[in-house]
């Protein structure tokens, strides 16, 4: 096919479909990807067949130059191909997250300890007491109850020594959890306590979704670090490579912002243009990954240090993510945890 033919949108002379790119190149089952190329649609009124490995996806929209397809349940990372008019395209790699735990209720990022164990909440509705507050998913993906008797467990983080901290949006308390599962109050009076993050000095920051970011020193002194617009659900916190605290907090707007709070507590707008931004994580290159929608597409949005935003992973109901060793990621949806071999190295939690 000549450059002129491609510009004019003509088919390959042999009628064989050809994939040039897939955007985004990662998804959860149910997410929609855009496959771009040539001769992707049969000459009649039939839809092309899109296969993710051995599983057939559903075609949402098709044309000669692009196909939007939904990743089917049961798909795994591998190659996607398009079959059209008896011809089969070249394969293009798509990474697919696989569910490792279901019937949960995370409301923000999962947490990963130094040994690779994953922890997630069953948060419940406000004021609901559930039998298990936090589940542990070990490195063999066995799911076991880890902590009970904590109402509306919200965010989970680990400190420099590997000890767990959990917020309760019900009573505004931060709890410290020992390795044997015993729980003790660490700080009280945090309002509707949601997201947490530690800085490199070991200070803990807690988001009260009514409009306050608290700073708790290692000696447990509590300060008001910053104030922001209230959120309708939660504040989500993550430290960037420059030592600034980044905060997402969805409002009733469909054009929300990620805020940057410098080490002195000064608040600025880092990026605006996301729908319902929630959990966040940084990679080693300083790119920020946010569970949000962008340009009407839901999933995980990548925002570069130059503030360029693109959809990096397609999926519905995503509330948070955490990078793991081995360039993987753990993705939380509203009722499940997925693992994705993503090829992205996350930024260490502490500098």
Report how many domains make up the chain.
2
Specify if 51 maps to a domain: yes
Same domain, 143 and 84: no
Same domain, residue pair 312 and 175: yes
Q: Are residues 109 and 15 in the same domain?
A: no
| Residues lower than pLDDT 50 in the chain | 1-11, 351
257 located within any domain: yes
**346 occurs within a structural domain:** no
Q: DSSP letter at 43?
A: S
> Has residue 349 been placed in a domain?
no
Query: Which pLDDT value is given to residue 20?
Result: 98
Q: What is the pLDDT of residues 81-129, one digit of tens each?
A: 999 988 999 999 999 999 999 999 999 999 999 999 999 999 988 888 8
Shared domain check, 321 and 242: yes
DSSP 3-state of 267:
strand
Please tell me the predicted confidence (pLDDT) of residue 127.
80
Residue 351 covered by a domain: no
Asked whether residue 122 falls in the same domain as residue 215, the answer is yes
Mark which of 53, 76, 96 sits at the end of a domain.
96
DSSP 158: E
Per-residue DSSP letter, 8 = H
Tell me which residue range forms the domain holding 198. Answer: 99-341
Residues in contact with 125: Cβ distance below 8 Å, sequence separation at least 6, in sequence order: none
pLDDT value of position 46: 87
Residues in Cβ contact with 175 at an 8 Å cutoff, skipping those fewer than 6 apart: 150, 165, 166, 167, 168, 183, 184, 185, 186
Q: Look up tokens 């999926």; give the residue.
A: 315
Q: How far is CA 283 from the centre of its chain?
A: 12
Which CA distances in Å does 40 have to 15, 66, 81? 9, 7, 10
pLDDT at 3: 41
Q: Identify whether residues 289 and 303 lie together within a single domain.
A: yes
| Same structural domain, 49 and 108 | no
| Residue 149 covered by a domain | yes
Confirm if 288 and 300 have CB atoms less than 8 A apart: no
Same domain, 213 and 295: yes
Same domain, 33 and 170: no
Domain boundary among 50, 66, 96: 96
The closest alpha carbon to 121, from 349, 340, 337, belongs to: 337
Domain co-membership, 111 together with 89: no
Task: For residue 46, give the CATH number of its domain.
Answer: 2.60.40.10
The burial of 232, by beta-carbon neighbours within 10 Å (0-12 exposed, 13-18 middle, 19 or more buried), is given as exposed
- Are 146 and 293 in the same domain? yes
3-state secondary structure at position 7: helix
Both tokens of 92, joined, read 């293009």
* Same domain flag for 172 and 77: no
CATH code of residue 243: 2.130.10.10
Strand order in the sheet with 173-177: 153-158, 164-168, 173-177, 183-187
């Amino acid at each position: 096919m000549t450059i002129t033919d491609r510009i004019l949108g003509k088919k390959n002379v042999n009628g064989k479909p050809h994939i040039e790119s897939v955007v985004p190149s990662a998804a959860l089952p149910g997410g929609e990807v855009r496959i771009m190329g040539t001769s992707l649609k049969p000459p009649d009124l039939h839809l092309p067949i899109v296969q993710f490995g051995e599983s057939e996806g559903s075609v949402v929209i098709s044309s000669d130059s692009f196909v939007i397809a939904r990743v089917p349940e049961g798909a795994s990372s591998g190659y996607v191909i398009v079959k059209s008019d008896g011809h089969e395209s070249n394969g293009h790699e798509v990474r697919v997250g696989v569910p490792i735990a279901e019937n949960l209720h995370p409301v923000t990022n999962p947490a990963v300890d130094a040994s690779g164990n994953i922890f997630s909440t069953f948060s419940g509705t406000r004021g609901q007491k559930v039998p298990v507050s936090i589940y542990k998913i070990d490195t063999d993906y066995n799911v076991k109850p880890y902590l009970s008797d904590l109402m509306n467990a919200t965010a989970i983080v680990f400190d420099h020594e590997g000890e767990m901290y959990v917020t309760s949006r019900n009573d505004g308390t931060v709890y410290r959890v020992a390795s044997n599962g015993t729980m003790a109050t660490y700080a009280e009076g945090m309002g509707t306590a949601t997201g947490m993050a530690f800085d490199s000095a070991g200070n803990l920051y807690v988001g009260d979704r009514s409009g306050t970011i608290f700073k708790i020193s290692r000696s447990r002194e509590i300060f008001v670090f910053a104030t922001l617009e209230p959120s309708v659900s939660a504040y989500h916190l993550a430290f960037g490579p420059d030592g600034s605290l980044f905060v997402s907090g969805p409002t009733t707007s469909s054009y929300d912002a990620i805020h940057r709070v410098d080490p002195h507590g000064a608040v600025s707008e880092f990026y605006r243009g996301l729908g319902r931004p929630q959990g966040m994580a940084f990679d080693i290159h300083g790119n920020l990954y946010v569970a949000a929608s962008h340009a009407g597409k839901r999933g995980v949005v990548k925002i570069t240090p130059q503030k360029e935003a693109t959809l990096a992973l397609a999926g519905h109901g995503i509330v948070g993510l955490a990078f793991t060793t081995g360039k993987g990621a753990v993705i939380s949806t509203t009722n499940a945890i997925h693992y994705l071999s993503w090829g992205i190295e996350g930024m260490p939690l502490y500098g």
